[in-house]
Amino acid sequence: MAVAEVGQRLAVSFVLQRRISDGPFLLVDIPDLSAWNAADAGVDRYVFRKRIDNLSSGGNYRVLVRYRWSARSGRVLATRTRPTAQCRVPRAQHPDLLLAAPEMAPIVGQGAMRYAVEVRNEGRGRAAAFDLVVTIAGRSKPPLRIAGLAPGKRALAALLAEPCAPGSTVTFTVDPANRLDEVDEANNSVSALCRSTVATLTLDEG
């Protein structure tokens, strides 16, 4: 790229973005990528190569290339941003665990509640055995162990525990230690408000 005046300096930096399906492009945080790389003053052509590895599978990627021209004093004279063409990274053969809407129901006469949620594997790879943790009002219960899921399969996980307080939050988290290499690690948790109390049964003896 040509430099307008002798003594000007061109610098470039890059911003990586990813889009899933028809959603918006979102920032992929790679700190080293966004650093400015400056050419020598007066250079009229600047070639800079940057390799990006270990991209998550699935979705479209693009790079915003940012240009900045500065005077000898460091004062910014002009800036410009141009997006590259999109590059699709095919979905790999990894599992992708998702949670359905949880269910909570009182157990009559036991002073307990049943907490249940369906887990499904929407990825293309098999999920090895994994844990599911239920957190009631900020306190996590011992994990439930699920013995793996093939692609497209589902499993129901259920726990009997003390009743939650109405209005409190109950959270279900699958693979909490992130031991599985999934397509998307951001969809492993679902929360719901407790709306039920344990029913009681009173008998009149006459």
Say what the alpha-carbon torsion angle 124, 125, 128, 133 is, to the nearest 10 degrees. Answer: -30
pLDDT at 45: 79
- Residue 8 predicted with pLDDT over 60: yes
Please state the rounded mean pLDDT for residues 102-107. Answer: 92
Closest by alpha carbon to 184, among 29, 24, 40, 59? Answer: 59
pLDDT at 77: 92
CATH top-level class of 97-193: mainly beta
Range scoring the smallest mean pLDDT among 23-32, 36-45, 80-89, 129-138: 36-45
pLDDT at 152: 94
Global pTM reads 0.55
pLDDT at 204: 44
pLDDT at 135: 97
Distance of CA 63 to the CA centre of its chain: 20
pLDDT at 197: 52
196 — pLDDT class (breaks 50, 70, 90): low
7 — pLDDT class (breaks 50, 70, 90): low
- The CA distance from 48 to 32, in Å, is 14
Closest by alpha carbon to 131, among 153, 155, 150? Answer: 155
- Residue 198 predicted with pLDDT over 70: no
- Residue 203 predicted with pLDDT over 70: no
Say what the alpha-carbon torsion angle 173, 156, 101, 191 is, to the nearest 10 degrees. Answer: -20
Q: Is 57 exposed, middle or buried (0-12, 13-18, 19+ CB in 10 A)?
A: middle
Domain coordinates in residue numbering, the chain: 9-88, 97-193
pLDDT at 23: 85
Please state the rounded mean pLDDT for residues 137-146. Answer: 94
Q: Report the chain's mean pLDDT, rounded to a whole number.
A: 86
The fraction of the chain above a pLDDT of 70, given in percent, is 90
Q: Count Cβ atoms below 10 Å from residue 82 Cβ, excluding itself.
A: 9
Q: Which residue has the tokens 């080293």?
A: 32
Closest by alpha carbon to 116, among 129, 128, 101? Answer: 101
Please state the rounded mean pLDDT for residues 164-179. Answer: 93
3-state secondary structure 62-119: EEEEEEEEECCCCCEEEEEEEECCCEECCCCCCCCEEECCCEEEEECCCCEEEEEEEE
N residues, the chain:
206
Please state the rounded mean pLDDT for residues 178-203. Answer: 75
Q: Tell how strand 103-107 and strand 144-146 pair up.
A: unpaired
